[in-house]
Amino acid sequence: MLTQSIAEVANADVKSLVEMLNFAQKVQRSLDLITQAYEEYGDRLVVANSLGKDSSVVWHLAKRVSPKIRGFIVTTRFKPVETKQFMAEEVARHPELRVFSNEEEIPDKLYATDPDRCCDILKVTPTREAVREMNVACWVTGLRCTEGRTRTDFKEVEERDKGLVKLNPILTWYEREVWQYLALNSVPVNPLYSKGYRSLGCWPCTKIAQGADERAGRWIGTSKCGGECGIHTKPLLDHQP
């Protein structure tokens, strides 16, 4: 069950907060949200770290709340070499980050013929496994409502899966505020950003793109263009007892 105060946050008008709050207020709000949720869920609060810039902010904020907060990374055989290297460095710095992947055989170039199925097998399945294995009651993500067309409809606190709360503590942040936080706090980031990428994923499905939609470089040339891998849209508790 959500606490009263967190439940109130779930009803907050996200679009107004994006405009109304300044950078410092957003940082404080994010810290308060994580603190409040950590008080509620303790060790069952776990950060999902995608190794992108937004996750790097959320992971840093969570560590400020408590160094004990755990996290998980879902990786695939198709992650770029730079992301794999950054993952190794992050796990070495933070052994409380666990890595999940699905190594089952899949058809050749499934990412081109059926990217939804590819993401389901390689991303959603190991995310479900992480949630189950780590006994997660509240997972914390780096979702932001200004990232692109598929991300405008989320709340800071959600319970789309009954029994699994999702906290999106930087939902109201602009892209520039993410970079402001990372720079001000000297947070290590995935080196792919220095090459011009703005949103990171598996190498066959990620291109450098310009324009208002930060996620426009994802799944270019498919019906999934600028879309979602499924971890934020599909149930994660399906396979739990």
117-136 residues near ligand SF4, rule: CB under 6 A: 118-119, 122-123
How many of the chain's residues bind ligand SF4 (CB under 6 A)? Answer: 13
56-85 residues near ligand SF4, rule: CB under 6 A: 76, 78
Does the protein bind ligand SF4 through residue 229 (CB under 6 A)? yes
Which spans in the chain are helix H?
4-10, 14-20, 23-41, 53-65, 81-93, 110-113, 115-119, 125-133, 175-184
Check: CB of residue 158 under 8 Å from CB of residue 10: yes
Strands across the sheet containing 138-140? 97-100, 70-74, 45-48, 138-140, 164-167, 157-161
Check: CB of residue 120 under 8 Å from CB of residue 234: yes
Smallest separation, CB 76 to ligand SF4 (Å): 5
Residues 181-220 as x/- pattern, contact with ligand SF4 by CB under 6 A: --------------------xx-xx---------------
Does the protein bind ligand SF4 through residue 87 (CB under 6 A)? no
Smallest separation, CB 88 to ligand SF4 (Å): 19
Radius of gyration of the chain (CA): 17
At CA 73, angle to CA 68 and CA 78, rounded to 5? 165
| Residue of minimal Cβ distance to ligand SF4 | 202
Smallest separation, CB 56 to ligand SF4 (Å): 19
Q: Which is nearer to ligand SF4, 204 or 235 (CB)?
A: 204
138 is catalytic: no
- Please name the residues in contact with 161: beta carbons below 8 A apart, sequence gap of 6 or more: 235, 236, 237
Query: Which residues form the catalytic set?
Result: 229
Point out which residues bind ligand SF4 (CB under 6 A). Answer: 76, 78, 111, 115, 118-119, 122-123, 201-202, 204-205, 229
